[in-house]
Amino acid sequence: MSNNQSDNLNILKAFKSANLFDKVALILSIWFGTGLLPGMPGTFGTAGAIPLYLLTNFLGARYRALLILIIIIVAIWSSHRSQCILGTDDPKEIVIDEVAGFLLTIIFIPFTLRNLIAGFFLFRFFDILKPPPIKIIEKKVKGGLGVVLDDLVAGLYTYLSLRFLLYMLN
């Protein structure tokens, strides 16, 4: 049995024995199952944020800011709780951190397909490459905050890069 299948079975086993709040934490942290998809859970988690991003385009800036704040708080809580339930630090199946980081990247960028695709690939680039201080944050900050904070910094790098590219192209 591959590690991914074994990890998925551990999550399913933990889910079955969890109380209601822990089940909610697990569902949110794996972003409704996208973190269980084989191969590239971070990429699938990032893609799983796109429907939420598309829905936010109908909201004003204040509501989008409130939404990203709520997502960040929920991401920290659910990531921390899921780590405790699973007994591991930053399991790859937890992808709500990618959701929060990508939304921070794109939520205040005007919607075009070009911007969405560029934001997606730039975010994955920074999330995988982990330029300073992202790698340091990932190693030093523990718990749910540590899981989420490195992706928020990757999201900030991506946002600034995307704004720069949009400025240069216009």
Q: Which tokens go with 108?
A: 């205040």
DSSP structural state of residue 133: T
Q: Please give the pLDDT value at position 170.
A: 81
Q: Which tokens go with 107?
A: 């939520």
How many domains does the structure of the chain reveal? 1
Residue range(s) defining the domain that contains residue 59: 3-169
Q: What is the pLDDT of residues 44-65, one digit of tens each?
A: 999 999 999 999 989 999 999 9
Q: Please give the pLDDT value at position 6.
A: 58
Residue type, 28: L
Measured between alpha carbons, how far is 57 from 38 in angstroms, rounded to an integer? 30
Measured between alpha carbons, how far is 85 from 94 in angstroms, rounded to an integer? 12
Measured between alpha carbons, how far is 46 from 164 in angstroms, rounded to an integer? 22
Q: What average pLDDT does this structure show over 76-96?
A: 95
Q: What is the largest CA-CA distance in the chain?
A: 54
Q: What is the pLDDT of residues 4-53, one digit of tens each?
A: 655 677 888 999 999 999 999 999 999 999 999 999 999 999 999 999 99
Residue from 95, 82, 114 nearest 49 by CA: 95
Residue from 6, 7, 1 nearest 90 by CA: 7
Q: Are 96 and 29 in contact (CB under 8 A)?
A: yes
